[in-house]
Amino acid sequence: MLKTGIRQVDDALDGGIIESSAVAFVGSLEYDNIILMHQVALNALKDGKKVLLVAFREAPDTLIKEAEHNGINYLPFIENGSLVILDGYTNLYAPDQKQGENILSNPLDIGITTAVIRDRLSKGDFDVLVVDDLTAQYTLQPNPKGYIKTLVRLINSVKSTGVTAMAALCGNVFEKVDLAATLIPFDYVFEVSRGRIHIARSIQPLKTANLIFPYVRSSEGIKLVLEEYATLEGIKKRLRAESDGTLWLDWDRVEIITEDSERATIETAYEFLGPEKGKEFLYLWGKKQFIGLGKDARMRTDSLRAALEEIALLTRSSGGGTLEIVDIKDDLILITGKNLFPGGKGSSLPYHVHYAGSIAQFLTEFTGKRWEGKETKCEAMGADHCEFVFWPVE
One domain for residues 207 and 264 = no
Query: Residue 96 to residues 42, 91, 92: CA-CA distances in angstroms?
Result: 33, 8, 10
One domain for residues 212 and 297 = no
pLDDT over 90 percentage in the chain: 75
CA 370 from centre of chain: 29
pLDDT for position 300: 72
Give every strand in the sheet of 252-254, ordered side by side: 239-241, 247-249, 252-254
Tell me if 346 is assigned to some domain: yes
One domain for residues 222 and 75 = yes
Tell me if 90 is assigned to some domain: yes
Question: b/e string for 71-103 if b means 16 or more Cβ within 10 A?
Answer: bbebeebbeeebbbbbbbbbbbeeeeeeeeeeb
Query: Residue 328 to residues 292, 309, 353: CA-CA distances in angstroms?
Result: 22, 12, 20
Mean pLDDT across the chain: 93
Domain final position from 178, 212, 229: 229
Sign of the alpha-carbon dihedral angle for 289, 229, 5, 33: positive
One domain for residues 211 and 284 = no
3-state secondary structure of 361: helix
One domain for residues 275 and 387 = yes
How many CB atoms within 10 Å of residue 3? 19
One domain for residues 276 and 220 = no
One domain for residues 213 and 270 = no
The three-point CA angle 101-38-26 to 5° equals 110
Tell me if 252 is assigned to some domain: no
Query: Residue 104 to residues 101, 109, 168, 241, 358: CA-CA distances in angstroms?
Result: 8, 10, 19, 45, 58
Tell me if 378 is assigned to some domain: yes
The tens digit of pLDDT for each residue in 274-305 reads 999 999 999 999 999 999 999 888 877 788 99
> 387 versus 316: which is more confidently predicted?
387
Tell me if 31 is assigned to some domain: yes
> 135 versus 218: which is more confidently predicted?
135
149: CB partners within 8 A, 6+ apart:
none
3-state secondary structure of 35: helix
Tell me if 250 is assigned to some domain: no
One domain for residues 181 and 280 = no
Phi/psi at 235 (nearest 5 deg)? -65, -40
One domain for residues 216 and 283 = no
CATH value at residue 379: 3.30.1380.20
Residue 359 CB-density burial (10 A; 0-12 exposed, 13-18 middle, 19+ buried) = buried
Phi/psi at 52 (nearest 5 deg)? -105, 115
CATH value at residue 19: 3.40.50.300
Residue 229 CB-density burial (10 A; 0-12 exposed, 13-18 middle, 19+ buried) = buried
pTM reported for the whole predicted model:
0.73
- For 128-137, 222-231, 332-341, which range has the lowest pLDDT when averaged over its residues? 222-231
Of 296, 295, 290, 314, the residue nearest 214 (C-alpha): 296
Domain final position from 172, 207, 229: 229
The tens digit of pLDDT for each residue in 227-239 reads 777 777 778 877 8
- For 46-55, 156-165, 238-247, 355-364, which range has the lowest pLDDT when averaged over its residues? 238-247
Tell me if 248 is assigned to some domain: no
One domain for residues 219 and 162 = yes
Phi/psi at 17 (nearest 5 deg)? -90, 130
One domain for residues 88 and 198 = yes
Whether 198 and 190 have beta carbons less than 8 Å apart is answered as: yes
Domain count, the chain: 2
One domain for residues 319 and 216 = no
How far is it between the farthest Cα atoms of the chain?
82
Whether 209 and 302 have beta carbons less than 8 Å apart is answered as: yes
Tell me if 253 is assigned to some domain: no
Domain final position from 185, 207, 229: 229
Using the predicted structure, report yes or no on whether residue 225 has a pLDDT greater than 80. no
Residue 288 domain boundaries: 259-392
pLDDT for position 92: 86
Whether 348 and 366 have beta carbons less than 8 Å apart is answered as: no
Where is 287: in which H helix or E strand?
helix 275-289
The tens digit of pLDDT for each residue in 36-57 reads 999 999 999 999 999 999 999 9
Q: Which of left, alpha, beta for 382 (phi over 0: left; psi -120 to 50: alpha)?
A: left
